[in-house]
Each structure stands twice: as structure tokens, then as C-alpha cells.
Amino acid sequence: MFERLQNSLVSLFSPQECKVCGRHVENLGDGVACSACWSETRIFDGSETLCSKCGAFFRDSRGSGEFRCHACDDHAYDKAAAAGVYEKALAATIIKLKSDPHIPARAAIAFSQAFEDSTFRSTTLILPIPLSSRRLIERGYNQADLLGDDLARRTGIRIDKLSLRRKVHTPLHRVAMDMKARELTVKNAFVVERPKLIAGQNILLVDDVFTSGSTSSNCAKVLKKNGAAEVNVLTLARAISN
């Protein structure tokens, strides 16, 4: 008993080790990464070249004209944006978010800043991308709900965690599947439970990370089929291949 109390006191008062570099994390608001690692993490500020539809990262500097990656041409959402690149501090924060339902201030601020900088300010409804009910029971919470709740609180926009449901359970090992197989798995995985609440809305789907975009696209497809006016996507991070 005493030992357990002592351990929890030590973890409370001793600085946490950065999950990226191992140095001490000095600011509580930085979460699991130190401020040096946060500075090395690319948080988008408008100076990058990104795909004008899906937000795919192209390069750190901005060229003239519009850039399209074309991999997203068939995707059903209107636009997708992210706070930054899935690397260093953002990657460590997202991994931690799967076991600890708390968004560090630095990540929450980057997420709401990404919303402010986006073209999504006419959003009327925030929808976190749902987990399957089995995954929700395993984990106890949906990390996308945490991001959605924080954004709803900061912006005053309504959040709806019930109208969109994931009916197919995707086993964890499928994360390693190739893109085509993933697309097949998420196809038809989503269903709209309350179409009246979706019709005519400018919807913002929120999630922790945007990878191939097939999950977002399938959500958008079913939402548009049920009358959504606009469906955009905002994630904390964007996975990049280069």
C-alpha cells in the first residue's frame, strides 16, 4: 500500500520522460513529448504545399497555383485538413491517446488552430468518426470523441456522437493490410442512424489521424446519401509517405 502510494507520488512530481527523445518533459501541457520535439514536429501554418482537396503533404514551401494529388479524386468528402504531420510529438500524442483519454493542451490548441485556419468555419455539426461497438468496449472511449468534444467546447458548434455508427469491426492486425484491402473493409462499414439530424448540415468529421482517406470517404458517402450538404474532415495528424 505504502509502496503504491509512493510510486504514484513519484510519478506525480518527477518529470515525465519524452516518448520521442527521452529527455524530460517540462511543461504539463506538452503531454508525452518535450518542447524541443514539439518544435521539430511539422504543424501546418499555411506555408506548405498541400493537396487542395485531401491535404496530402507535398513540400514544406508553397508554390504558386493549386496542387492536387489526384489520389483523392474519387473520395466523397469535400475537403480534408490536419493540424500537422504524423511524426515526433504528434505521433507520440496520438499513440498515447489510445490508452489515456486526455488531450494535452498543446495538441488541443494545434487542432483548434487548424480549424480556425481551415475553410470549415461554416460547420454546423461535428461528427467524430466512430469506432465499432466492440472496439469502443475494449478501449472504453473513442479518441475521436475527445477531439470532437474539445473542438465543440471551443467553437460552440454542436457535436453528435450517435447519428453515425460503424457496424463492421476491423481487427487490429488489418491496420497492416494494403490499401486496397483496407478500402474493401471500410466500404459499407458506416450507417446513418438518424438521417433527419444529418440532412442539410455542414458536417465536420473529426479523427486522430488521416491515412489513406478511405474511412473518411466512406463516412462522407453515407452522410451525403442521407442529405448532408457538405462533409469536411479535420484530423490531428496527417500520415505522409515521404
Window 196 to 235, contacts with Zn ion (CB under 5 A):
none
Among 16, 21, 197, 239, binds Zn ion (CB under 5 A): 21
CB closer to Zn ion, 71 vs 109: 71
Site for Zn ion in 72-91 (CB under 5 A): 72
Beta-carbon contacts of residue 28 (< 8 Å; ≥ 6 apart):
104, 105
Give the residue, chosen from 32, 37, 43, 126, that forms a contact with Zn ion under the rule CB under 5 A.
37
Of 163 and 232, nearer to Zn ion (C-beta) is 232
Nearer to Zn ion, 23 or 224 (CB): 23
Q: Report d(CA 91, CA 84) in Å as an integer.
A: 10
Among 30, 31, 32, 34, binds Zn ion (CB under 5 A): 34
Question: What is the CA 28 to chain-centroid distance, rounded?
Answer: 21
- Nearer of residues 76 and 197 to Zn ion, judged by Cβ: 76
Round to whole Å and give the CA distance between 19 and 43. Answer: 18
Please say whether the beta carbons of 53 and 75 come within 8 A: yes
Candidate residues 32, 43, 50, 51; the one interacting with Zn ion per rule CB under 5 A: 51
Stretch that binds Zn ion, among 4-12, 49-57, 106-114, 234-242 (CB under 5 A): 49-57
Nearer to Zn ion, 35 or 155 (CB): 35
Q: Which three cell numbers stand for residue 209?
A: 489521424
3-state secondary structure of 32: coil
